[in-house]
Every structure is written in C-alpha cells, then in structure tokens.
Amino acid sequence: MDAFLNQLWIARWPLLDGLITTLQISIVAIVIGTIIGVLVGVQLTYGSYFSRMPFRLYVEIMRGTPVLVSVLAAFYIPSVMGLSLTAKMAGILALSLFAGAHIAELTRGSLQAIPVGQIEAGRSIGLTFKQIVVNVLFPQALRSALPPWINTGVELIKGSSLLSLIGVAELLLNTQEVIGRNFMAIQFYVFSGVIYLVINIALDQTARIFDRR
C-alpha cells in the first residue's frame, strides 16, 4: 500500500491532467450535443416527412454504429478531407454527434408525450409556432427529459475513455502511461475506475433527485 501511495504521489499531475481533460471533453460534447439534439429533435417531431428524412438518417446511423467506430472515423476522415483536427477535437466531434443523436431521440420522446391540447391551446390564444415551442412545450418537456439527459452525461464520461485509443491524453490513457512506468496495473486501473465511479454516481444520483420531482 505504501508503495502504491508513493507511486500515486509521483503520478498525481498526469492523473489530474487526465481527469481535467476527461471532464473538459465531456462538458464540451454535452453542450454541442444538446444544441444539435434539441434542434434535430424538434425537427423530428414537427417536421414534414421529407424534412425529417436527413435527420432520421443521422440519428439511425449514430445509433446503429458503435461509438468507437464514430471516434475512429472522426479521427481519420477529416485529415483526407484537408481539415486538420487534433485528436482531441476529433474525439469531441464524435462524442458530440453521438450525444446529439441520443438527445434528439429523447427530445422527440418528451415532446410527443405532451398532449396535443397544449399546442392547440397555444395556437388558439394566438401564439406563433416558435412561441409555442419555447413557452409551452419546452418547460413541460424539460421535466421528463432532464433525468435521461443527465444519463447521457454519464454515457459521455464513459465514452470519453474511448478517446484513449486515438491518443487523447485523458484519464484512462494517462493511467495507462503511469502503469507503463510502475507496472502497478491493478492498483492504478482500480484507482481510475474509482474516479469514473465517483463522477458518474454523483451524476446518477442527481438524475434520480430530478426523477422523483
């Protein structure tokens, strides 16, 4: 145990850096993913059949492919298109698109759960469609969408560990590098596992509190 604590003290900065990168990536991805998801979700619920098609295709592709494939595709494809993205940017791109598809589906689900009468009532008092969406539908949809939205955050923190495979120095890759130096595989994998657990359980409990309301 002493040896582990000693090694942990030596490795504190890379691990802390990794943790910060993990959080940073997840936060940026959930912000971009939410913007994409809400816009696509509204389109999927209220768009005409043809305007829904491209968005449905996007959601189906993202939900049908593993996150790892999206991550690798986002890492390799932009460079041949003449765009140079860093590994971190590519990872954020992939995770945002993944989160966007999930949030689009849960936005659609919560919007469809709202009784049609609410839209009709809004229209009858003379609100425009935009006003109905913002003032009538969103506040109601928010209540049922909030817990699964927080769970998408848990999925993103878990998914960000996949970026270690394209060389982003997040928590897991830095843990692996530390293990490469001191060969304490169990101790350090368990240590970073506990960090993931603490963050995700905190998020999960928050989701449960909102779920009860």
Partner 1 sequence: MGYSLHFDAVWSNFHSLLSGLAIGLVMALFSLIAGTVIGLLGAFISRGSVAGKWLVGFYVMLIRNLPLLVIVLLLYFALPQLGIRLDKYKSFVWALSLYSGAYLIEVFRGGLSSVPAGQVEAARAIGLTRLQTNLYVIMPIMLRNVLPSLSNTFIGIFKDSSIAAAIAIPELTFEARRINTNTFRVVETWLIVSCMYVVTCSAMSFVLQRIERRFPKF
Interface ranges with partner 1 (CB under 8 A): 60-61, 63-69, 72-73, 76-77, 79-82, 154, 157-159, 161-162, 164-165, 172, 176, 179, 185-186, 189-190, 192-193, 196-197, 200-201, 204
Residue (of 93, 91, 114) closest to 41 by Cα position: 114
**141 vs 108: CA distance, rounded Å:** 9
Smallest distance, Å, CB 1 to partner 1? 15
Least distance from partner 1 to the Cβ atom of residue 24, Å:
17
Nearer Cβ to partner 1, position 16 or 185?
Answer: 185
Q: Which is nearer to partner 1, 140 or 200 (CB)?
A: 200
Rounded to an integer, what distance in angstroms lies between the CA atom of residue 182 and that of residue 185? 8
- Nearer to partner 1 (CB atom), residue 144 or residue 200: 200
N-term to C-term CA, the chain: 44
Comparison of 88 and 137: residue with beta carbon closer to partner 1? 88
Output the smallest distance, CB 10 to partner 1, in A. Answer: 19
Q: State which residue, 3 or 201, has the beta carbon closest to partner 1.
A: 201
Positive or negative, the Cα torsion across 75, 79, 83, 88? Answer: positive
Length of the chain in terms of residues written: 213
Closest distance between partner 1 and the C-beta of residue 41, in Å? 20
Q: Which is nearer to partner 1, 64 or 126 (CB)?
A: 64
| SS3 at position 117 | helix
Minimum CB distance to partner 1, residue 177 (Å): 13
Based on DSSP, count helices (H) and strands (E) in the chain, helices before strands.
10, 0
Which residues, in sequence order, are CB contacts of 72 under 8 Å at separation 6+?
A: 165, 166
Q: Work out how close the CB of 124 gets to partner 1 at its nearest, in angstroms, rounded to a whole number.
A: 38
| Cβ-Cβ contacts under 8 Å for 166 (sequence gap 6 or more) | 71, 72, 75, 87, 90, 91
Report the 3 state secondary structure along 66-82: CHHHHHHHHHHHHHHCC
